[in-house]
């Protein structure tokens, strides 16, 4: 069972309260001490998956107003002997309710960085678009897959889903801006490359990104859900597979290449595929965050998050319905 060390450092007067919280949750306190000269206390606790979020919430209610208190989450590679090898009945019941192994705060740390419009994000977008465009034009599957893996465009979409789940307007704004710049930049670079390179619009890899159907919708929905599940269960390596399955970069590059080549009908279909991927990733990610119980700490914030989640779910659902209509209409036309 996954476990981590939570270290609490703060004013010495809070020691008994912190130990009481740990005792109430039957959490294993590894060590605690007080430096009376500095009026500081420290508590180290070994915490299993099921109680980590609840413990952190309880600790924050006690220490959140303190400017000098800190709650640290530290990784644990192994524990011998393992106190969680045979969980109690209460642990089994809690595990059955939620499989989320990552706390709200850890999710923020893992996801919100993807919403930052940094020089590294811009450089990776430029480089991955160039790699993708070359792979598409040369009909090289391996090169296209390589571009999918290094592309940073999945990050702002996951951050957007988390932002709406937490009613974090700042994170939502950052995610939208970074997503727009990333996708817009990829399309623009694709257009520029189409003007300086020999383009065979009949290349199989290019044509694949102009084919969109209901199977594309199902793939994008499943991949978006898998992305969030990999984050909330502590298995971020699964994201590599998700990046390949529901890649946003090749369709964006294809839109640019087709526009630069004057193939506006093909550009429209590639843009439709890109829109399907973006919408489905956000919709399924929000649903999984909702299922996993990812929400703010306070009641007022939870009410705002519920409204935000409902509004965005409705928005994405309506948008997806419109895209499905356009897909079916395109199939009839073709």
pLDDT of 211 strictly over 80: yes
CA nearest to 169, candidates 284, 292, 56, 301: 301
DSSP string, 11-48: EGGGHHHHHHHHHHTT-EEEEEEEETTTTEEEEEEEEE
Query: Would you give the distance in Å from CA 286 to the centre of its chain?
Result: 10
- Sign of the CA dihedral with 247 first, then 250, 253, and 257 last: negative
List, for residues 115-164, the tens digit of each pLDDT value.
999 999 999 999 999 999 999 999 998 898 888 888 888 889 889 988 88
List, for residues 58-113, the tens digit of each pLDDT value.
999 999 889 999 999 998 888 887 776 655 554 444 444 454 567 788 888 888 88
Q: List 153's β-bridge partners, or say none.
A: none
> Which two tokens mark 172?
């939502």
Identify the band that residue 334 occupies on the pLDDT scale cut at 50, 70 and 90: low
Spell out where the chain has E strands.
Answer: 3-11, 28-35, 40-48, 70-75
CB neighbour list of residue 52: distance below 8 Å, 6 or more residues apart: 4, 6, 73, 103
Q: At what angle do helices 141-150 and 119-137 cross, to 10 degrees?
A: 170
| Whole-number Cα distances in Å, 28 to 25, 110, 291 | 9, 26, 29
Q: Please answer whether residues 161 and 228 qualify as being in contact, where contact means their C-beta atoms are separated by less than 8 angstroms.
A: yes
Q: In whole angstroms, give the CA distance from residue 227 to residue 242.
A: 6
């Amino acid at each position: 069972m996954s476990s981590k060390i939570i270290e609490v450092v703060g004013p010495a007067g809070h020691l008994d309260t912190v130990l009481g919280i740990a005792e109430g949750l039957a959490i294993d306190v590894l060590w605690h001490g007080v430096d009376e000269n500095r009026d500081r206390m420290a508590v180290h606790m070994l915490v299993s998956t099921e109680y980590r979020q609840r413990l952190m919430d309880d600790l924050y209610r006690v220490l959140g107003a303190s400017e000098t208190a800190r709650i640290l989450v530290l990784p644990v590679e192994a524990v011998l002997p393992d106190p969680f090898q045979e969980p109690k009945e209460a642990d089994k019941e809690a595990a059955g309710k939620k499989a989320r192994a990552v706390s709200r705060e850890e999710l923020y740390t893992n996801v919100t960085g993807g919403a930052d419009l940094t020089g590294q994000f811009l450089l990776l977008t430029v480089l991955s678009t160039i790699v993708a465009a070359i792979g598409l034009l040369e009909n090289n599957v391996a090169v296209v897959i390589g571009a999918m893996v290094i592309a940073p465009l999945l990050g702002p979409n996951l951050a957007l889903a988390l932002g709406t789940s937490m009613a974090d307007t700042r994170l939502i704004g950052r995610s939208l801006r970074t997503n727009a710049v990333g996708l817009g930049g990829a399309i623009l670079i694709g257009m520029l490359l189409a003007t300086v390179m020999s383009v065979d619009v009949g290349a199989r890899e290019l044509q694949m990104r102009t084919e969109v159907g209901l199977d594309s919708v199902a793939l994008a929905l499943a991949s978006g859900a898998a992305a969030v599940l990999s984050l909330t269960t502590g298995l971020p390596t699964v994201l590599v597979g998700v990046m390949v399955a529901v890649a946003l970069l090749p369709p964006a590059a294809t839109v640019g290449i087709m526009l630069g080549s004057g193939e506006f009908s093909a550009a429209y279909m590639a843009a439709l595929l890109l829109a399907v991927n973006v919408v489905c990733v956000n919709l399924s990610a929000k649903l999984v965050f909702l299922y996993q119980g990812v929400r703010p700490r306070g009641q007022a914030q939870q009410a705002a998050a519920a409204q935000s989640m409902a509004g965005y779910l409705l928005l994405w659902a309506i948008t997806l319905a419109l895209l499905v209509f356009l897909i079916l209409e395109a199939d009839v036309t073709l």
